[in-house]
Each structure stands twice: as C-alpha cells, then as structure tokens.
Amino acid sequence: MLRRLGNLAVCLVMSAIAAGTAFAEGDAANGKILGDTCKGCHFIQKHKNSYPVFYVPKLGGQNGEYISVALKSYAAGERSHDTMLSHAATLTEQDIADLSAYFASLGELKTASAAGKAPEQAATCVACHGEQGISVMEQYPNLAGQHENYLVHALKQYRAGERTNAVMAGFAGQLSDDDIKVLAKFYASQKGLFTPDP
Ligand code: HEC
Ligand code: HEC
C-alpha cells in the first residue's frame, strides 16, 4: 500500500512539473507595505486562532509560490477561514504576487540533517515534502518547524474534505488520528519555518 502511494506521489510530482504553473512576478517592497495588515497575527509568536485552537501558521521561510496558492485557495473557497477569506478576497493577483515575494524574501530554507528519524508514516510524504519537511517544489508547502497543532489541524481538514486539494485529500484520507499526531510532531520538530519579527 505504502509502495503504491509512493509511486502515485512520484507521478503527481512529475505531472506537476510538466504542467509548469506560471506565477506573476512579485514586488517584495510593495509586499512589505501590504503585509502590514498581516502583522497582527502572522508576526506574533504563537498567536492563537481561537476556534478551533491552534497557532497561526508560520510564514517565515515558506515557499512564495505556495503562499500564492494558499491565498488564492481562500478566495476560491477551497479553504475556509473567515479572517483569511476577508483578507484574500480583497487582494488583486498582483497584490498576491507582491505579498508572496515579500514573505519569500524573509528567508529561504536549506536542507540540513534531519532531527530524529522520519516515522514510517512519512514514507509517502517525502516525495513532495522532502525528508525533513523542506519541499521539493515551490508550489508545495514547507512543513519543517511549522506549529505542531497547526499541522494537525491542516491534516484533519484535508481528511474531512474541509480543504479540497485533491492531492492532499488522497494522502490525508489514509491517516489515522495517531498517524497525524506522529507526523505533526516529527515535522514540527525539524528546524525550519519561523515567525518573522514585526
Ligand atoms: C486575524 C489573524 C490573521 C490575519 C490578520 C492574517 N492571517 Fe493569514 N492566517 C490566519 C490563520 C488563523 C490561518 C490558518 C487558517 C486555516 O485554517 O486555513 C492563516 C493562514 C494563512 C496562510 C496559509 C498558510 C499555510 O501554511 O497554508 C497564508 C499564506 C496567510 N495566512 C497569509 C496572510 C497574509 C498575506 C495576510 C495579510 C494580508 C494574513 N494572512 C492576515 C490568521 C490571520
Ligand atoms: C504529491 C505531492 C504530495 C504528497 C505525496 C504529500 N503532499 Fe502534503 N501537500 C502537497 C500540496 C500540493 C499541498 C498544498 C495543498 C493545498 O493547496 O492545500 C500540501 C499541503 C500539506 C499540508 C498543509 C501545510 C500548510 O502549511 O497548511 C500538510 C500538513 C501536508 N501537506 C502534509 C503531508 C503529509 C503528512 C503527507 C504524507 C502523508 C503529504 N503531505 C503528502 C503535496 C503533497
């Protein structure tokens, strides 16, 4: 089973590369200005989302293209969160490119040695998210160092169909609550993403 999913993962990576999604060029300086409205949550260490309770995701070190994808997903209703929708819905394509360029300029994650051994549950994840949660493509989120409770929340949302990305729905659908716990703990313990200073 794991092997079959592994092969599927490789195919999906290959087709994503072939599709070669185009992204608008962003202006990081303008993104910094636009990013002022994000500071109240994303620039505060362990800022809590109140219901359900989890820490607001770290954006420092996140892939710029993934940030674009995520913002567009809120606006398109593929992810739901009231505050993020109200922010994303007012952004133009160029604003999104600028914000993504700005966040990407805050720091790029490099591969280092993994902290601890990847759990067997991660066998299928590495094809896209890398051995330590540093993803192989810009469109995929880095997971290394992300808040553990946010990773749990995200995986449960995919599993429940509350986030509609077809690739992740397939992989998260195979996971038990225990698998999710183990995976979130592993990725959160890697060195990587950070909360930027305001
Ligand atoms: C009131 C707090 C708040 C503000 C202000 C806010 N966010 Fe968020 N943001 C959140 C929360 C909470 C989530 C996770 C929501 C979910 O469950 O999908 C999130 C998720 C995101 C994600 C997805 C991260 C990931 O790993 O998938 C991005 C990208 C993002 N925000 C960018 C922004 C940008 C850019 C701004 C400013 C224009 C902004 N946010 C303003 C609270 C906030
Ligand atoms: C074929 C590539 C692929 C594989 C394999 C894969 N993912 Fe993903 N993952 C993605 C993509 C693409 C996204 C962004 C989807 C979206 O837009 O919501 C994502 C998103 C995520 C997120 C949300 C991160 C955030 O910041 O919100 C988590 C957590 C995650 N994956 C964990 C996993 C785990 C755990 C596995 C293995 C069980 C796995 N993924 C396997 C491609 C993959």
Tens-place pLDDT, residues 21-35: 455 689 999 999 999
Q: Which atom of ligand 1 is nearest to the CA of 88?
A: 38
With the most atoms of ligand 1 within 8 angstroms of its CB, the residue from 59, 78, 84, 87 to mutate is 84
| Mean pLDDT in residue range 53-75 | 97
| Mean pLDDT in residue range 86-111 | 93
Q: Which atom of ligand 2 is nearest to the CA of 151?
A: 29
Question: How many other C-beta atoms can be found within 10 angstroms of the C-beta atom of residue 129?
Answer: 23
> Is a pLDDT exceeding 90 seen at residue 73?
yes
Q: Which atom of ligand 1 is nearest to the CA of 74?
A: 18
Question: How many other C-beta atoms can be found within 10 angstroms of the C-beta atom of residue 53?
Answer: 9
Bigger pLDDT: 187 vs 115? 187
Ligand nearest to the CA of 71: 1
Place of tokens 């070669």: 20
> Is a pLDDT exceeding 50 seen at residue 178?
yes
Residue 141: cis peptide before it, omega within 30 degrees of 0? no
Q: Which tens digit of pLDDT belongs to each residue from 119-137?
A: 999 999 999 999 899 999 9
What was the pLDDT predicted at 35? 96
Q: Which two tokens stand for residue 125?
A: 């994840």
